[in-house]
Amino acid sequence: MAIIDLEKTLICLRRACNLIDLIIRSKGHFLFVNTNPEYNKIVQQTAISANQSFLNHKWIGGFLTNWNHMQNVQKHFQDFSTDSLYNSNLNQLNNSGGFTNLRDLGYNNNKVDSAKQMTVETSLSNSFTKVMNVLLKQPRFKKMQKSFEGCFSKENRDRALRPDCIIILNAKKNSTAILEASLLQIPIISVVDSNTPSKLHKLISYPIPANTDSIEFIHLICNCFLKTILSSQTSQKKEAPKAVCERNLSRRARVASHN
C-alpha cells in the first residue's frame, strides 16, 4: 500500500492551476483525456462547462502526431453526424430518388417489356445501395461518435482545435497520449499514482501525485480545473476592453505628437 504526501499533491495541483490560468489567458485550448468509464460523466461535464475538448474513449494512435489526417477524419464525422440519411426514415427515400412501393416503380398486373424491366432493376439497385449505405454507416458512426464527440467545442463546431495542453486522469493507461504530446512538446498535466512507470513520469510536465482510483479525488480535481478555467475566462473578458482602450489612447497620443 502506497502512502501519498498530500502536501505535495496540493503543491502540484496549484502549479497545474497556474499553468491552466496562463494558457486560458493566452487563448489556449485543453484536451481532457480519460479512459475510465466511471469518470465519463465528470470529465464530460467539466469539459463542456469549460468549453474545452475531451476524449472519453480509447486513445487513437496518431491523434496528435498525425493531426492533419485526424482533422480529415474528424471532418468526416462532423459531416456525417448531420447527414440527413442517418436521421431520416428509410421510408423517406422517395424524396431522394428512392421508392416506397412497387407501383412507384411502374409495376402493375400487366407485363412490362425488357427495356422497362432494366429501368426497374436499375432503380431497385440504386435504392438498395442507398439503403445499404445507411445500414453500413450506423455502426461506424457509433464508433466514431465515441472517439470524436468531445473534440468539438461550442465555439468551434466545424473543426477540432489542436490542444495547447492535455489533462490526463490516469497516466499509466494513457502512455501513448503522453508520448505523442511529449514529442510535440505539448504540456501535460496528469494524475500519477504510485505505480506509474518512471519513464512516463519523466515525460509529464506537471504531475499530480494522487490515487487515480478515487472518484472523489477525480471529482475534486476536475472541479478545481473548471473553476480555474472559468475564472480565467471571466478575467480575460474584463481585461479585453481595457486593452482596447489602452491601444486607442496610445494611438491618439502618437497622432497628437506628430501633429
For residue 93, name the pLDDT band (cuts at 50, 70, 90).
very low
User: What tens digit of pLDDT does each residue of 144-176 get?
Assistant: 666 666 776 555 555 567 899 999 998 989 999
Assess if residue 75 is contained within a domain: no
Angstrom distance (rounded) from CA 57 to CA 162? 18
Q: Taking a C-beta distance cutoff of 8 angstroms, is the pair 36, 16 a contact?
A: no
Grid cell of 220 as nine digits: 475534486
Q: Do 171 and 252 share a domain, yes or no?
A: yes
For residue 257, name the pLDDT band (cuts at 50, 70, 90).
low
Q: Is the pLDDT of residue 2 over 70?
A: no
Per the DSSP assignment, residues forming a β-bridge with 54 are: 32
**The domain that contains 50 carries what CATH number?**
3.40.50.10490
Task: Sheet containing 206-209: give its strands across.
Answer: 53-55, 30-33, 165-168, 188-192, 206-209
Q: Which of 222, 171, 185, 220 is nearest to 52 (CA)?
A: 222
User: What distance separates the 2 farthest-apart alpha carbons in the chain?
Assistant: 95
Grid cell of 120 as nine digits: 426497374
User: So what's the pLDDT on residue 151?
Assistant: 72
Q: Which of 173, 142, 150, 176 is nearest to 40 (CA)?
A: 150
Q: Do 193 and 253 share a domain, yes or no?
A: yes
Residue 204 burial (CB < 10 Å; 0-12/13-18/19+)? buried
Angstrom distance (rounded) from CA 21 to CA 236? 10
Q: Do 172 and 253 share a domain, yes or no?
A: yes
Q: Do 52 and 173 share a domain, yes or no?
A: yes
Assess if residue 119 is contained within a domain: yes
Report the domain count for the chain: 2
User: What's the DSSP call for residue 193?
Assistant: -
User: What tens digit of pLDDT does each residue of 43-53 get?
Assistant: 999 999 999 99
User: What tens digit of pLDDT does each residue of 68-83 get?
Assistant: 777 676 666 666 555 5
User: What tens digit of pLDDT does each residue of 17-69 get?
Assistant: 999 999 999 999 999 999 899 999 999 999 999 999 999 888 888 888 887 77
For residue 227, name the pLDDT band (cuts at 50, 70, 90).
very high
Q: Do 89 and 19 share a domain, yes or no?
A: no
177: left (phi over 0), alpha (psi -120 to 50) or beta: alpha
Q: Do 170 and 252 share a domain, yes or no?
A: yes
Q: Do 50 and 17 share a domain, yes or no?
A: yes
Q: What angle do CA 212, 214, 219 make, to 5 degrees?
A: 100
* Amino acid making up residue 14: R
Assess if residue 102 is contained within a domain: yes
Residue at which a domain ends, from 117, 147, 177:
147
Angstrom distance (rounded) from CA 152 to CA 241? 28
Q: Do 53 and 173 share a domain, yes or no?
A: yes
Angstrom distance (rounded) from CA 259 to CA 233? 40
Q: Which of 5, 16, 33 is nearest to 169 (CA)?
A: 33
User: What tens digit of pLDDT does each residue of 184-222 get?
Assistant: 999 999 999 988 899 999 999 999 999 988 999 999 999
Which residue range forms the structural domain that includes residue 27? 6-61+162-258
User: So what's the pLDDT on residue 259?
Assistant: 53
Assess if residue 74 is contained within a domain: no
Q: Do 57 and 166 share a domain, yes or no?
A: yes
Residue at which a domain ends, from 147, 182, 197:
147
Assess if residue 241 is contained within a domain: yes
Angstrom distance (rounded) from CA 166 to CA 233? 18
Assess if residue 153 is contained within a domain: no
Q: Do 50 and 91 share a domain, yes or no?
A: no
Q: Do 132 and 14 share a domain, yes or no?
A: no
Assess if residue 44 is contained within a domain: yes
Grid cell of 46 as nine digits: 467539466
Residue at which a domain ends, from 147, 173, 193:
147
User: What tens digit of pLDDT does each residue of 123-148 get?
Assistant: 555 555 555 455 445 666 566 666 66
Q: Do 49 and 16 share a domain, yes or no?
A: yes
227-232 mean pLDDT: 94
Scored b (16 or more CB within 10 A) or e, 186-199 reads bbbbbbbbeebeee
79-96 mean pLDDT: 46
Residue 129 burial (CB < 10 Å; 0-12/13-18/19+)? exposed
Assess if residue 155 is contained within a domain: no
